[in-house]
């Protein structure tokens, strides 16, 4: 049996507090007491920014207003408690923009939180990716989007909710469907942003002007594999996947997506619940696994993740 992973994967995402090493090597905490941190990025000047999912809220919507996310993940409650923070070298946190959408899943699924999923830079311009917006997430009158941060304000660039609703992917799981999506990660390349969405299974390009183009309907060839983290390296996109619950150790892989041909192949295999990956300047691949123990996710298992090289 599999259970919905649509928002769960976004809400189960973790961001390690500082540089983390494998095996017995030591690590250093850079910052703590962040509000459910997710993606992060360095600016061209070397400043460090973190997307924090926030603490949710008490707002909700009903099926009379819009299509709801089915239980056990939905329905959501939500608020405007997400933010982007700057972290100084001494660990001091400064709010860059706040009052952004944040939601919490149904308590029977664990009450996991999501909000701003990721941040990225095109030159000196900072962009954010939302995953907790939209009527189906409990916030009527909002939508999932890419926005630019301008003078402490989130200026909308692209409406991702509307794009997904107008351009459905090939595979939709009725018992695991997020009408507004649960966007997970975003990477900049050239003068564009590339965002991956796990519930529908797609990778989309967002230009600096807000034009949205689907790079790949991942679900069309790979099914509902729940793609999460995406990076661009050596002319190709690479993404990891969460897979389904209950957790099956070794069921997640790192895939390579050729943007010229659209071909998707397995690049590295036998991982578990991948929620982050990146390459260093020597071409070494780092893979962050959220939980590595078989069974259903729990808060205790969130402490059993690992970073593999």
pLDDT tens-digit series, residues 72-112: 999 999 999 999 999 999 999 999 999 999 999 999 988 99
pLDDT at 194: 98
pLDDT at 14: 34
Mean pLDDT value across residues 159-179: 95
Q: What domains, with CATH codes, occur in the chain?
A: 8-308 (2.120.10.30)
Q: Which residues pair with 167 in a beta bridge?
A: none
At residue 21, does pLDDT exceed 80?
Answer: no
Alpha-carbon gap, residue 244 to 220, rounded angstroms:
17
What three-state secondary structure class fits 219?
helix
pLDDT at 30: 86
Alpha-carbon gap, residue 214 to 305, rounded angstroms:
31
> What are the contacts of 148-155 at 24+ separation with CB within 8 A?
149/84, 149/96, 149/97, 152/96, 152/97, 153/97, 154/97, 154/100, 154/128
Mean pLDDT value across residues 23-42: 85
pLDDT band at residue 15 using 50, 70 and 90 as cut-offs: very low
Alpha-carbon gap, residue 15 to 12, rounded angstroms:
10
Mean pLDDT value across residues 64-69: 97
Average pLDDT, the chain: 88
Q: Give the number of residues written for the chain.
A: 309
pLDDT at 22: 44
pLDDT band at residue 235 using 50, 70 and 90 as cut-offs: very high
pLDDT at 293: 64
pLDDT at 13: 37
At residue 37, does pLDDT exceed 70?
Answer: yes
pLDDT band at residue 307 using 50, 70 and 90 as cut-offs: low
pLDDT band at residue 9 using 50, 70 and 90 as cut-offs: very low
pLDDT tens-digit series, residues 130-161: 999 999 999 999 999 999 999 999 999 999 99
Query: What letter would DSSP give residue 8?
Result: H
pLDDT at 213: 98
């Amino acid at each position: 049996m599999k259970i919905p992973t649509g928002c769960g994967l976004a809400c189960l995402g973790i961001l390690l507090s500082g540089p983390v090493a494998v095996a017995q090597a030591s690590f250093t905490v850079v910052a703590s007491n962040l509000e459910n941190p997710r993606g992060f990025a360095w600016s061209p000047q070397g400043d460090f920014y973190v997307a924090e999912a926030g603490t949710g809220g008490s707002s909700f919507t009903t099926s009379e207003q819009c299509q709801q996310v089915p239980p056990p993940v939905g329905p959501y409650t939500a608020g405007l408690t997400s933010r982007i923070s700057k972290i100084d070298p001494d660990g001091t946190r400064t709010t860059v923009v706040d009052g952004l959408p944040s939601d919490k899943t149904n308590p029977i699924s664990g009450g996991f939180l999501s909000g701003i999923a990721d941040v990225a830079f095109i030159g000196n311009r900072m962009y954010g990716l939302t995953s907790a917006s939209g009527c189906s997430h409990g916030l009527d009158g909002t939508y999932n989007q890419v926005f630019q941060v301008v003078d402490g304000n989130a200026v909308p660039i692209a409406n991702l909710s509307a794009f997904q609703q107008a351009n459905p992917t090939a595979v939709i799981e009725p018992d695991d469907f997020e009408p507004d999506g649960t966007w997970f990660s975003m990477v900049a390349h050239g003068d564009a942003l590339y965002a991956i969405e796990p519930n529908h299974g797609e990778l989309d390009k967002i230009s600096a002007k807000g034009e949205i183009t689907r790079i790949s309907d991942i679900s069309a060839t790979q099914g509902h594999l729940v793609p999460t983290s995406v990076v661009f390296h050596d002319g190709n996109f690479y993404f990891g996947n969460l897979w389904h619950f209950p957790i099956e150790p070794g069921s997640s892989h790192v895939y390579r997506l050729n943007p010229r041909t659209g071909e998707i192949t397995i690049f590295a295999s036998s991982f578990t619940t991948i929620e982050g990956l990146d390459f260093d300047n020597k071409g070494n691949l780092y893979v962050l696994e959220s939980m590595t123990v078989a069974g259903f996710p729990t808060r205790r298992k969130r402490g059993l993740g690992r970073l593999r090289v």
